[in-house]
């Protein structure tokens, strides 16, 4: 009886997974074996290994790596300081708030801020550095992407820092550990799970960014996401679009496995 009712509860979940996760994945795989005229072929896979797509893959990974790295560098100290403040939840809310605003609106706002006559350039001129082109550069692309992904990096790190037992820090102190040693040997290893979760949440979507590449980078940065969008909407070459998607999925699974939870050695 008990197992029966447990299985009963599983039905909606299984249905959901089957309909909205497994079926689409199978469809993507299925479409990847057809060319533009609907004939079965492996040509798409051969095409993926030509310099054009390999270069695109490399540059996607490179930009996603940079975005993740800078997000982490900013997010970790921020999350650490957050745990030390008095009204943690309020500050956290303020950091999460911008993520409620539509991505496109934020991107358009940056078009204005980074423009030749925008706020950023007026500021640079007032500082005596002089105006320069900010929009449509690698810098603006990475800056805006980091800005957008930052809350997703801060949250898991904040949570793991917040759960950290403060007595462990006292113990480290009592045993003569300097603050650097405490950080390296106690705080960081214990919050590693949060860092990993944050990196996954940022790296994987960053790999397939597409709107920002046009709006902020002016198509000077081409990622796999841009190519998928173009194949589905413009060329209507669903086969090639799906093939790229298959490789993206494989890459994501690999990343999940590599950064996945291992058995905790401490505690």
Partner 1 sequence: MKKLIQALAAVLIVSFALLYIVSGLNSSQGYTSGNTLTIFNWGDYIDADLVDKFEQETGIKVIYETFDSNEAMMTKIEQGGTAYDIAVPSEYAIEKMKEEDLLLPVDHSKIPNLKYIDQRFMDLPFDSGNKYSIPYFWGTVGILYNTDILGDKKITSWNDLWNPEFKNQILLIDGAREVMGMGLNSLHYSLNDKNTDHLIEAKEKLDRLTPNIKAIVGDEIRMLMENDEAGIGVVWSGTAQELMWEKDNLEYVVPEEGSNLWFDNMVIPKTAKNPEAAHMFMNFILDPENAAQNTEYVGYSTPNQEALKYMDEETISDERFYPDEEMTARLEVYENLGKRMLAYYNELFLEFKMHKK
- Nearest approach, Cβ of residue 19 and partner 1 (Å): 18
By beta-carbon proximity to partner 1, the closer residue of 37 and 174 is 37
- Nearest approach, Cβ of residue 127 and partner 1 (Å): 22
Could you tell me which stretch among 94-102, 129-137, 155-163, 188-196 binds partner 1 (CB under 8 A)?
Answer: 129-137
- Binding to partner 1 by residue 224, rule CB under 8 A? no
- Binding to partner 1 by residue 116, rule CB under 8 A? yes
- Contact residue for partner 1 among 144, 148, 199, 215 (CB under 8 A): 215
- Binding to partner 1 by residue 1, rule CB under 8 A? no
- Binding to partner 1 by residue 222, rule CB under 8 A? yes
Please list the alpha-helical segments (H only) found in the chain: 2-17, 23-31, 43-48, 51-84, 88-96, 103-114, 119-126, 138-163, 166-174, 179-182, 188-207, 211-215, 224-230, 238-259
- Contact residue for partner 1 among 87, 236, 256, 264 (CB under 8 A): 236
Q: Are 251 and 44 in contact (CB under 8 A)?
A: no
Backbone angles phi, psi at 34, to 5 degrees: -120, 145
| Residues whose CB is less than 8 angstroms from the CB of residue 182 and which lie 6 or more positions away in sequence, other chains included | 169, 172, 173
Q: Which of residues 26-65 bind partner 1 (CB under 8 A)?
A: 36-37, 52, 55-56, 59
User: Helix (H, G, I), strand (E, B), or coil: what is residue 44?
Assistant: helix
Q: Are 170 and 241 in contact (CB under 8 A)?
A: no
Give me 242's structure tokens. Answer: 């799906």
User: Which positions touch partner 1 (CB under 8 A)?
Assistant: 36-37, 52, 55-56, 59, 111, 115-117, 133, 135-136, 214-215, 217-220, 222, 227, 230, 232-237
């Amino acid at each position: 009886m008990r197992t029966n009712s447990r299985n009963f509860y599983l039905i909606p979940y299984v249905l959901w997974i089957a309909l909205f996760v497994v079926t689409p994945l199978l469809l993507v795989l299925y479409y990847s074996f057809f060319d533009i005229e609907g004939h079965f072929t492996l040509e798409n896979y051969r095409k993926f290994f030509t310099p054009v797509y390999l270069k695109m893959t490399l540059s996607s990974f490179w930009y996603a790596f940079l975005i993740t790295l800078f997000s982490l560098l900013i997010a970790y100290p921020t999350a650490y300081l957050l745990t030390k403040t008095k009204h943690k939840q309020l500050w956290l809310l303020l950091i999460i708030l911008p993520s409620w605003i539509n991505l496109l609106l934020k991107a358009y706002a940056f078009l204005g801020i980074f423009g030749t006559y925008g706020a950023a350039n007026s500021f640079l001129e007032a500082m005596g550095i002089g105006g320069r082109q900010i929009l449509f550069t690698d810098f603006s692309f990475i800056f805006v992407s980091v800005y957008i992904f930052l809350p997703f990096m801060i949250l898991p790190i904040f949570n793991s820092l917040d759960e950290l037992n403060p007595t462990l820090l006292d113990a480290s102190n009592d045993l003569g550990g300097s603050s650097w040693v405490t950080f390296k040997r106690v705080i960081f290893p214990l919050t590693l799970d949060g860092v990993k979760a944050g990196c996954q949440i940022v790296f994987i979507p960053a790999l397939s960014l597409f709107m920002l590449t046009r709006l902020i980078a002016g198509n000077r940065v081409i990622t796999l996401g841009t190519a998928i969008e173009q194949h589905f909407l413009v060329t209507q070459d669903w086969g090639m679009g799906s093939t790229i998607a298959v490789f993206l999925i494989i890459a994501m699974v690999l990343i999940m496995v590599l950064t996945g939870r291992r058995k905790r050695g401490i505690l």
